Chain A
């Protein structure tokens, strides 16, 4: 019983971190049809900025989070203008290669600027200690990650389903040409969504830094994980990404508790099973 509750608590935290990072990727993939393997690299940049802000500059955690999001978006905007815009609508393979290229370049530059060592983010006191849940105590930063995940999921749902911007966004997803004809500025919608997606990646990188430590190869290590989450959940679906994150987080954490010597074997077995059964993802639309 103790083990089951521990697994449940840890997988919830891990799954929520996966969700916060992957949902941005899901948005770009569902909306702009771009397979952006560099998404993890943006999460990594966010982590680096937060680390630098808290450790070197001594800024408080809250400001560091905001700085991380702003800086990462500022890095991403010229990339979107110069590079991503040329591969909208290109075949998947082209997009994969371009974004792998961007990832490699970011890894190399990150190592050059920040060095190859692990970087930590100084947490405020409230997030450092353990919190007693009754059956066990859990690290406060994990609870914080869960809370952030819930807020992000709720906020995105409100944004997409209940605001005028959400209406335009859904229209652009369904039929970009028609939406354009009806006066929706699809380019602006794309730009805002892209910035939103990158901002969420940065947020996820900071919040998840305790579970997915920040180092130059972060972008490569977790590239696959984020891509898998989106594919399992179905590109463009918030609920799908949430379900996929929680399921895959559960599989991964359970396997780590019960059969650590198998590594990620069961994780990928689950991925194959789910993707073969639901080729468009759990809640994705059929093409």
Chain B
């Protein structure tokens, strides 16, 4: 792990963070492996969960770490998905890694551009601007149906084998393993970004933008940069979903998806990378199970759950687990 000793970081704490990264990766890989063995017939769902995890991680970067309130984050996810899909279906760029790269670049561009608009507002106006941005993108994608397939969705995406060796099989094994690998890489990179001086600056902006500006740091530009990073992550998620499902629908670019991503983040816990992962896993898994029975019951349940989280566990499931763990340890010592 390239955690350079930037400030006064000693070798000791370097080792500790590296060890922390190792255990975090091991935990994620272990859960992924367990899910693979337990639910071999549900790999498509698991891959979708990982794609959404990337979206929620990206949202965590701007909302949890930088304090930007947005209800339009699916814009970046959709930008990655459509860019990868259009390049594959219209220009014959079918190498999956190349598609992921295209998705990341498109997401980063979309992040940088939309942040210029979204960051102009604060509080309510920021929320409304982000909603307007995602709705605008949605309508544009709908109108440009020659490129995007409009409401029918973009089809005709046929990714070539991964590394030229592993075909994307019917059971979705290749897609699943690629998704897990991608998630692990992104997860480690984000852990480094979040604890870097840049990540700390973003947290400072979340706590008090005025003071950060008074200290001489560029608030607006820092947030645009964070938005571009977040865009790359969400774009990777979008590209992943395009590769795995071989279609891109308009719903990948909708207000509903954005709102759901925010709900997942809050259920898991904002400002923690694990929170994004746990929230997504819990949300999408239960959504899949309950809405198979009745989609409206699902809405009622998630509504009540959301109210409960806001009132009783404002730090999300991960935050609640952490404080429970701290209590248990405190009692033991």
Contact = CB atoms under 8 A, between A and B. Distances in A.
Contacts of B33: none
Given A262-B143, A268-B136, A275-B132, A231 B307 contact: no
Interface stretch (B101-109, B116-124, B227-235, B318-326): B116-124
B194 interface: no
A268 B304 contact: no
A259 B62 CA distance: 35
Contact of A94 (B142, B259, B310): B310
Contact of A227 (B123, B127, B143, B303): B127
Given A29-B124, A94-B310, A108 B262 contact: no
Interface string B303-318: 1111101110010000
Given A101-B306, A112-B296, A231 B135 contact: no
Contacts of A261: 143
Given A261-B143, A264-B139, A279-B121, A104 B127 contact: no
Given A107-B296, A224-B255, A279-B120, A94 B136 contact: no
A231 B125 contact: yes
A243 B133 CA distance: 22
A279 B122 contact: yes
Interface stretch (A42-50, A85-93, A143-151): A85-93
Given A93-B63, A268-B136, A272-B132, A101 B125 contact: no
A137 interface: no
- Residue from B121, B132, B305 having most chain A Cβ neighbours under 10 A: B132
B124 A108 contact: no
Given A104-B300, A261-B143, A275-B128, A98 B307 contact: yes
Given A92-B69, A92-B124, A271-B128, A97 B296 contact: no
Nearest to B297: A108
B239 interface: no
Interface string B285-301: 00000000000111111
Contacts of B298: 108
A264 B63 CA distance: 27
A98 B310 contact: yes
A100 interface: yes
A276 B310 contact: no
Contacts of A107: 296, 299-300, 303
Interface string B13-36: 000000000000000000000000
3 closest Cβ contacts across the A-B interface? Answer: A108-B300, A101-B306, A104-B303
B300 A265 contact: no
Most buried by B among A94, A230, A279: A279
B300 A96 contact: no
Interface residues of A, number: 48
A98 B63 contact: no
A102 B307 contact: yes
Contact of B314 (A94, A108, A109, A111): A94
Interface in A66-115: 83, 86-87, 92-94, 96-98, 100-109, 111-112
Contacts of A53: none
B93 interface: no
Contacts of A98: 306-307, 310-311
B132 A228 contact: yes
Interface of B: 63, 69, 71, 117, 120-125, 127-129, 131-133, 135-136, 139-140, 142-143, 255-256, 259, 262-263, 266, 270, 296-307, 309-311, 314
B181 to A, nearest CB: 32
Mostly, the A contact residues are: helix
Contacts of A246: none
Contacts of A100: 259, 263, 303, 306
A265 B143 contact: yes
B69 A96 contact: yes
Contacts of B259: 100
Interface string A253-275: 00000000111110011011001
B296 A276 contact: no
B26 to A, nearest CB: 32
A6 interface: no
Given A93-B69, A100-B303, A224-B131, 6 more contacts: A94-B310, A98-B311, A224-B255, A272-B132, A272-B136, A276-B121
Nearest to B64: A93
A280 interface: yes
A97 B262 contact: yes
A109 B301 CA distance: 10
A97 B299 contact: no
